[in-house]
């Protein structure tokens, strides 16, 4: 199991900064149809009644959870469609999948796109190396049709892998990555999938949202909703935070508290990247030692271990965002595996180009908070997950 520990520690999905079998759980759309909701029913966005979403222009993509860490869903590329399981990653901007050009073990153990089988494929021929926290992926670019549920994007640029690192891709169940960040972190000269989705009028509104189940099963881990928001998946009001830099979905953090004690670490301001491609909560390196000491965690074999019996007594973490305190209780940030409890954090692995302390609000945080990405108004919405 040592390789698995290393994978969970080092797998970071995003430049600079998820494969899904058919699930048995019903999607939001299926549940609404069973309730007799017409296909063209207009539902209101909770907390913002002036905006409405037409179901025909909203895609509900179910997500599968793997090892209680990663969340990924199905897309198809080509005509006829070839299916792939991908992470919908707000920490990067490029789309790539394994291809028949790639002969490495990691590629051959996954679904591979065959350009010869698609009548719509057009070769660009330009090669790139995409850098991620766990290694580099070499791709050649092409154009084809990408389908996500009822959304069809034509002439979409994507990467076909030429080589993938065996560690960790050979051992993971998803095939590729679908980047959903701003174009500035994508390949210059090519439209991201989100850009084309909007230009081709595939969405009623330029918005998408994520729900991660707090108690995921292999059959159901959550939803990514393209073009809308589902009020059934969160409670309370939506807290909106403006994007401070239109590269990543980066928002401001005004303060960080451990229990009732404010740390003062963000007195001069901190930034946080809302990243669905990172599993853990990342902490600026200069704060890590003090953070672990405050929690009574001990580093053992690259893990930050705490006494499982003491977890209910551990402090709640608080992020001050847009004037509100967002709590993260120990039941969320402490992970239990085979009787061992660890704090689900790591050091932030990307540099802060603004000079302000940089956090990454990964899946540990996003299990607690339903996240909404508003492309028109450059803001992120957070609400307590149902």
CA nearest to 362, candidates 134, 123, 89, 135: 89
Tokens of 349: 């692995």
Mapped onto helix, strand or coil, the DSSP state of residue 269 is coil
**245 closest CA partner among 134, 129, 355:** 355
Say which of 144, 230, 275, 374 is annotated catalytic: 275
**What are the beta bridge partners of residue 131?**
136
The Cβ of residue 215 has, within 10 Å, a number of other Cβ atoms equal to 9
Burial 52-88 (b: 16+ CB within 10 A, else e): ebbbebbbbbbbbbbebbbbbbbbbbbeeebbbbbbb
Per DSSP, 206 falls in state: S
Which of 5, 350, 347 is CA-nearest to residue 167?
A: 5
The H or E element spanning position 359 is: strand 358-361
Residue 180: which of 272, 242, 88, 56 has the closest Cα?
Answer: 88
- The residue annotated as part of the active site, out of 89, 175, 230, 374, is 89
Per-residue tokens: 240: 């909106």
Query: In this structure, are strands 249-253 and 135-148 parallel, antiparallel, or unpaired?
Result: unpaired
Decide: 78 and 145 in contact? Cβ < 8 Å: yes
Contact yes or no for 199/352 (Cβ under 8 A): no
The rounded distance, in Å, linking the Cα atoms of 149 and 125 is: 28
The secondary structure element, H or E, covering residue 7 is: helix 2-10
Is 89 among the residues known to form the active site? yes
The residue assigned the tokens 């990514």 is 224
Give the chain's end-to-end CA distance (angstroms, integer).
33
Q: Name the residues annotated as catalytic.
A: 89, 275
């Amino acid at each position: 199991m040592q390789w698995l520990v290393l994978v969970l520690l080092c797998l970071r999905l995003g430049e600079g900064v998820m494969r899904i079998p058919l699930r048995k759980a019903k999607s939001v759309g299926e549940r609404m149809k069973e309730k007799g909701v017409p296909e063209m029913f207009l539902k209101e966005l909770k907390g913002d009644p002036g905006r409405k979403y037409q179901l025909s222009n909203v895609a509900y993509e179910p997500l599968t959870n793997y090892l209680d860490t990663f969340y990924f869903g199905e897309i198809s590329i080509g005509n006829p469609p070839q299916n792939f399981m991908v992470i919908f990653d707000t920490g990067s901007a490029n789309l790539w999948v394994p291809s028949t050009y790639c002969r490495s073990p990691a590629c051959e153990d996954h679904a591979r796109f065959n350009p010869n089988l698609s009548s719509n494929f057009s070769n660009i021929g330009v090669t790139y190396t995409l850098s991620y926290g766990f290694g580099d992926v070499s791709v050649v670019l092409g154009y084809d049709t990408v389908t996500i549920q009822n959304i069809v994007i034509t002439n979409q640029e994507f990467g076909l892998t030429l080589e993938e690192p065996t560690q960790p891709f050979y051992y993971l169940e998803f095939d590729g990555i679908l980047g959903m960040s701003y174009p500035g972190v994508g390949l210059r000269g090519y439209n991201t999938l989100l850009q084309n989705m909007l230009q081709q009028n595939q969405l009623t509104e330029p918005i998408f949202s994520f729900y991660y189940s707090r108690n995921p099963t292999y059959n159901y881990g959550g939803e990514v909703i393209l073009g809308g928001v589902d009020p059934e998946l969160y409670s309370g009001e939506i807290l909106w935070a403006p994007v401070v830099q239109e590269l990543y979905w980066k928002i401001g953090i005004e303060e960080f508290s451990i229990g009732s004690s404010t740390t003062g670490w963000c007195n001069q301001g901190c930034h946080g990247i809302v990243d669905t491609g990172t599993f853990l909560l990342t902490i600026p390196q200069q704060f890590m030692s003090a953070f672990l000491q405050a929690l009574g965690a001990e580093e053992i074999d690259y893990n930050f271990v705490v006494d499982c019996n003491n977890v209910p007594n551990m402090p709640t973490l608080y992020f001050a965002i847009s004037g509100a305190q967002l709590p993260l209780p120990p039941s969320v940030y402490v992970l239990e595996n085979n009787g061992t409890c660890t704090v689900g954090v790591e050091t932030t692995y990307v540099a802060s180009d603004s000079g302000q302390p940089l956090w990454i609000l990964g899946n540990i945080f996003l299990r607690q908070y339903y996240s909404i990405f508003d492309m028109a108004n450059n803001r992120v919405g957070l609400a307590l997950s149902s």
